[in-house]
C-alpha cells in the first residue's frame, strides 16, 4: 500500500517570523515575540487525500508546519531549515518511510521553506518520490528546478487526478514523464507543454479527509479572529462549494490553479457536507473558500437557505463580489444569520478599478452595498489596496477621498503584492518595477515602484490611510455607534499592544459610554506610549491628537 506524507511549509519567511515588522500581528512565546502565523486547514491536501482513498487503499499523513510552529512554546532555531531537520528526524517519523512526499505550497512567502523541506526530506528519505503542488510550484517551476535538485516532479494545476495516477502507477518515474499534468526537469528543458486535469463534477471528490488532521489544532482561526470585532473563538471548518473564477483581476493568481471556468458541487452535496461538518465534527462556523461564491445567483440563494435551515455560522473570508450584492441578496445573507461581510472593494477610484484592476465594479456600487449593509445591520469590512503599476498619486487621493464618504465599519488597507501567476507580476517584471523579491510580497511590504511612486511612499501611505480611515475618521465613531467603534479599536489593541492611536480613540469611546475610569486608563496608556515611542508620536502629531 502506498503511503503519502503531505507537508505544508510555514507560510511565513524565517526573518518575518523571528523579527516581525512594525505593521504586522505578533504572538508572544516564552522565547520572545514572533510573527503571527495563519493556521488554516489545507483544503487541497484534504481533497487529494479523500479522492485518492476513494479509488485505492492508501495511507496518508499530514505535517503542517504552521501548526507545528504555533504549538511550540519556545523557538530557538537559527533557521527554519534547522527546525525542519529537527522535526522530521523525530523517531515517530524516521520509523516511517512514505513512498511519496507531497509538499503543498500556496504562498510565495513559503518558497524557500519548500526548498528547505525538500532538501531535508531528500536526506532523510533518499528513495521516496518528492513532488510538490499548489500555486507556487506550478507558476515557478523554472526557479524551483534552478534552485533545487530534490523534486521528482511538480503538479500543474489541481492535483487530485495526477496524484491518484502517480499512486496507481507501477512505474512512477515513467508516469511522471508521460503524464502532461506533471512538470519534470526533462520536460521543462525540452519545452514540452503542460495540461490541467480538472475534475469537472466536483461531487466526484468525496467528503474531504478531515481525519488526517486534528481539528482542534485549527480552532483558533486567525483570519476570523482578525475580524474579532464581531466574532468569537469557535471551531470552524473550511468548505469550497465551487472552484474557478471567470474574472480577470490583475492582482489575482487563483485562476492559474483552478482555471477560469467555474465548476460546482451540487446543492444536495453542499447540504450533506455542511450537515456532516456540523453533526459529526462539531462545526460552529463554516468558512467558504470559493474563488467566486457569487458565480450563480440562484445557487447562492439555495445555499443560503441550507445555511439557515442548518443554523450554522458562515464566514466568507475571501470577500464577496460586490456587484452581486444587491439588496435582495444582502437581505438573504442577513436572514441566513450573516452579520459580517468582507467586501472586495479594492480601490476607491473608478479609473483604477476599471483600467488597471479590470474589476467588474464601480464606486457607486461600493457605496450602495455599504449603505445597505449598515441599514441591515451587517458589519462591512472593506478590502482596499494601493500601489498597483499604473496607479497614480492622484488615484490614491481619489481613493482616500471616496473612502472617507463610505460608512464601512472597517477598511483593510493593503499594499499591492505582485503574486506569482498574476498579470500584475508580469507587468512589474516587464517594466522593471520591482524593488525587492516578489517572494517577499505579503500585502504589508511594498515592493512595487513605478514612475508614479516609490515603494516607501506606498508603504507609508497605506499605513496612514489605515490610521485615518479606521481611527481618526472611523465611521462608527462619527455616527455615534461607540460600542461598535470600540470593538474595532480594542481589536487593534489586541493585535498591537502599544497602538497609541487605538488607545486614544478607545478612550474617547469609553468617555462617550460614561466609563470614565476606563477612559482615563486608556488615555494614560496613549499618552505614555506617545511620550516613549517616536513612531507613535509622529502619527499623533500628524493627526493633531494627544
Ligand atoms: C483559502 C485561501 C486562504 C486561506 C488559507 C488557506 C490555507 N490553507 O492556507 C486564508 C484566508 C487564511 C488565506 C490567506 C491569504 N492568502 Co489565500 N487563498 C486561499 C484560496 C482562496 C483558496 C486556497 C484553497 O484552499 N484552495 C482549494 C484547494 C482545493 O486548492 P489548493 O489548495 O490550491 O490545492 C489544489 C492544487 O493547488 C493542487 N495542490 C496543492 N498542493 C498540492 C500538493 C501536491 C503534492 C500536489 C500534487 C498538488 C497540490 O492540488 C490541490 C487540489 O486540487 C486561494 C485561491 C485559490 N483558489 O487557490 C488563495 C491564495 C492561495 N491566497 C493568496 C494570498 C495572497 C493570501 C494572503 C497573502 C492574502 C492577504 N492579503 O493576507 C493571505 C496569507 C496567508 C498566509 N497563510 O499567511 C494567493 C497566493 C498567491 C501567492 N503566490 O502567494 C491566492 C492564490 C489567491 C490569489 N489572490 O491569487 N488564503
Query: If you take atom 34 of ligand 1, which residue's CA is the nearest one?
Result: 44
Residues with CB under 6 A from ligand 1: 11, 38, 40, 42-44, 47-48, 102, 104, 106-108, 131-136, 155, 158-160, 162-163, 223, 240, 252-254, 257-258, 289, 291, 317-318, 414, 419-420, 442-443
Residue 239, strand partner residues: 288
State which of 104, 106, 165 you would mutate to test the pocket of ligand 1, scoring each by most atoms of that ligand within 8 A of its C-beta.
106
Q: Which atom of ligand 1 is nearest to the CA of 41?
A: 8
Q: Flag whether pLDDT at 225 surpasses 60.
A: no
3-state SS, 142-201, equals: HHHHHHCCCCCEEECCCCHHHHHHHHHCCCHHHHHHHCCCEECHHHHHCCCCCCCCCCCC
Q: Flag whether pLDDT at 232 surpasses 70.
A: no
Q: Which atom of ligand 1 is nearest to the CA of 139?
A: 83
Q: What is the pLDDT of residue 256?
A: 96
Residues 6+ apart with CB under 8 A from 252: 245, 419, 422
Q: Which atom of ligand 1 is nearest to the CA of 245?
A: 57
Q: What is the pLDDT of residue 23?
A: 62
Looking at per-residue pLDDT, the higher value among 525 and 25 belongs to 525
Q: Flag whether pLDDT at 371 surpasses 80.
A: yes
Average pLDDT of the residues of the chain? 93
Q: What is the pLDDT of residue 274?
A: 97
Q: Flag whether pLDDT at 377 surpasses 80.
A: yes
Cβ contact 373:410 at 8 Å? no
- Burial of residue 139 (CB within 10 Å: 0-12, 13-18, 19+) is buried
- Range with lowest mean pLDDT among 9-23, 194-208, 452-466: 9-23
Cβ contact 346:370 at 8 Å? no
Q: What is the pLDDT of residue 233?
A: 55
Q: Flag whether pLDDT at 229 surpasses 60.
A: no
Averaged over 258-276, what is the pLDDT?
Answer: 97
Strand 182-183 relative to strand 236-239, pairing:
unpaired
Q: What is the pLDDT of residue 226?
A: 58
Cβ contact 161:182 at 8 Å? no
Tell me the CA–centroid distance for residue 333 and ligand 1, in Å: 25
pLDDT, tens digit, for every residue of 292-345?
999 999 999 999 999 999 999 999 988 899 999 999 999 999 999 999 999 999
Tell me the CA–centroid distance for residue 318 and ligand 1, in Å: 10
Burial 378-394 (b: 16+ CB within 10 A, else e): bbbbbbbbbbbbbbbee
Confidence band of 444 (pLDDT split at 50, 70, 90): confident
Task: Give the SS3 label for residue 498.
Answer: coil
Strand 242-243 relative to strand 263-264, pairing:
antiparallel
Confidence band of 32 (pLDDT split at 50, 70, 90): confident
Tell me the CA–centroid distance for residue 280 and ligand 1, in Å: 26
Q: What is the pLDDT of residue 223?
A: 55
Q: Which atom of ligand 1 is nearest to the CA of 421?
A: 83
Distances (CA, A) of 201 to 29, 42, 206, 516, 526: 45, 21, 11, 60, 56
> Radius of gyration (Cα) for the chain, nearest Å?
24
Q: Flag whether pLDDT at 222 surpasses 80.
A: no
Burial 101-114 (b: 16+ CB within 10 A, else e): bbbbbbbbbbbbbb
Averaged over 80-105, what is the pLDDT?
Answer: 89
pLDDT, tens digit, for every residue of 447-490?
999 999 999 999 999 999 999 999 999 999 999 999 999 999 99
Q: What is the pLDDT of residue 230?
A: 46
Q: Flag whether pLDDT at 30 surpasses 80.
A: no
Separation between Cα atoms, residue 386 and residue 378, nearest integer Å: 25
User: 444: which DSSP letter?
Assistant: S
Q: Flag whether pLDDT at 127 surpasses 70.
A: yes
- List the helix and strand counts (H, then E) for the chain: 26, 16
Averaged over 414-420, what is the pLDDT?
Answer: 95
pLDDT, tens digit, for every residue of 39-88?
899 999 999 999 999 999 999 999 999 999 999 888 989 999 999 999 99
Q: Flag whether pLDDT at 443 surpasses 90.
A: no
Q: What percent of the chain has pLDDT over 70?
A: 96
| Confidence (pTM) | 0.93
Amino acid at each position: 500500500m502506498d503511503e503519502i506524507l503531505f507537508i505544508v511549509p510555514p507560510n511565513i519567511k524565517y526573518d518575518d517570523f523571528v523579527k516581525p515588522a512594525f505593521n504586522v500581528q505578533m504572538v508572544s512565546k516564552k522565547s520572545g515575540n514572533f510573527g503571527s502565523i495563519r493556521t488554516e486547514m489545507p483544503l487541497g491536501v484534504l481533497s487529494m487525500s479523500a479522492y485518492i482513498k476513494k479509488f485505492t487503499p492508501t495511507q496518508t499523513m499530514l505535517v503542517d508546519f504552521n501548526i507545528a510552529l504555533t504549538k511550540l512554546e519556545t523557538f530557538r532555531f537559527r533557521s527554519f531549515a534547522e527546525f525542519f531537520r529537527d522535526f522530521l528526524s523525530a523517531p515517530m517519523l524516521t520509523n516511517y518511510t512514505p513512498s511519496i512526499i507531497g509538499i503543498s505550497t500556496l504562498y510565495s512567502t513559503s518558497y524557500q521553506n519548500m526548498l528547505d523541506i525538500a532538501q531535508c526530506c531528500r536526506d532523510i528519505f533518499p528513495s521516496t518520490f518528492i513532488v510538490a503542488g499548489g500555486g507556487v510550484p506550478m507558476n515557478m517551476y523554472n526557479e524551483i528546478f534552478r534552485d533545487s535538485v530534490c523534486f521528482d516532479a511538480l503538479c500543474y494545476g489541481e492535483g487530485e487526478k495526477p496524484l491518484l495516477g502517480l499512486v496507481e502507477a507501477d512505474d512512477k518515474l515513467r508516469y511522471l514523464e508521460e503524464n502532461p499534468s506533471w512538470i519534470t526537469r526533462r520536460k521543462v528543458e525540452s519545452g514540452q507543454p503542460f495540461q490541467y486535469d480538472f475534475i469537472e463534477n466536483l461531487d466526484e471528490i468525496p467528503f474531504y479527509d478531515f481525519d488526517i488532521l486534528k481539528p482542534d489544532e485549527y480552532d483558533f482561526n486567525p483570519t476570523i479572529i482578525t475580524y474579532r470585532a464581531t466574532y468569537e473563538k469557535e471551531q470552524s471548518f473550511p468548505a469550497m462549494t465551487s472552484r474557478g473564477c471567470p474574472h480577470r483581476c490583475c492582482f489575482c493568481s487563483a485562476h492559474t490553479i483552478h482555471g477560469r471556468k467555474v465548476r460546482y458541487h451540487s446543492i444536495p452535496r453542499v447540504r450533506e457536507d455542511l450537515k456532516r461538518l456540523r453533526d459529526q465534527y462539531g462545526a460552529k462556523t463554516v468558512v467558504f473558500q470559493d474563488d467566486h461564491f457569487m458565480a450563480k445567483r440562484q445557487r447562492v440563494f439555495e445555499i443560503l437557505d441550507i445555511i439557515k435551515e442548518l443554523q450554522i455560522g458562515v464566514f466568507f473570508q475571501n470577500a464577496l463580489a460586490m456587484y452581486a450584492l444587491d439588496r435582495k441578496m444582502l437581505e438573504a445573507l442577513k436572514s441566513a444569520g450573516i452579520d459580517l461581510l468582507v467586501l472586495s472593494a479594492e480601490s476607491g477610484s473608478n479609473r483604477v478599478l476599471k483600467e488597471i484592476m479590470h474589476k467588474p465594479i464601480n464606486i457607486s456600487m461600493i457605496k450602495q452595498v455599504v449603505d445597505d449593509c449598515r441599514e441591515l445591520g451587517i458589519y462591512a469590512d472593506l478590502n482596499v489596496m494601493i500601489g498597483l503599476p499604473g496607479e497614480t498619486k492622484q488615484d490614491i487621493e481619489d481613493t482616500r477621498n471616496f473612502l472617507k464618504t463610505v460608512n464601512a465599519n472597517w477598511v483593510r488597507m493593503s499594499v499591492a503584492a505582485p503574486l506569482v501567476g498574476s498579470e500584475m507580476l508580469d507587468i512589474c517584471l516587464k517594466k522593471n518595477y520591482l524593488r525587492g523579491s516578489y517572494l517577499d510580497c505579503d500585502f504589508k511590504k511594498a515592493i512595487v515602484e513605478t514612475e508614479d511612486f516609490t515603494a516607501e511612499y506606498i508603504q507609508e501611505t497605506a499605513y496612514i490611510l489605515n490610521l485615518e480611515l479606521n481611527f481618526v475618521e472611523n465611521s462608527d465613531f462619527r455616527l455615534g455607534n461607540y460600542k461598535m467603534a470600540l470593538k474595532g479599536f480594542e481589536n487593534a489593541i489586541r493585535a498591537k499592544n502599544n497602538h497609541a492611536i487605538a488607545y486614544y480613540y478607545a478612550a474617547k469611546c469609553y468617555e462617550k459610554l460614561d466609563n470614565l475610569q476606563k477612559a482615563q486608563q486608556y488615555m494614560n496608556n496613549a499618552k505614555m506610549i506617545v511620550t516613549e515611542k517616536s513612531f507613535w508620536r509622529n502619527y499623533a502629531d500628524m493627526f493633531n491628537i494627544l
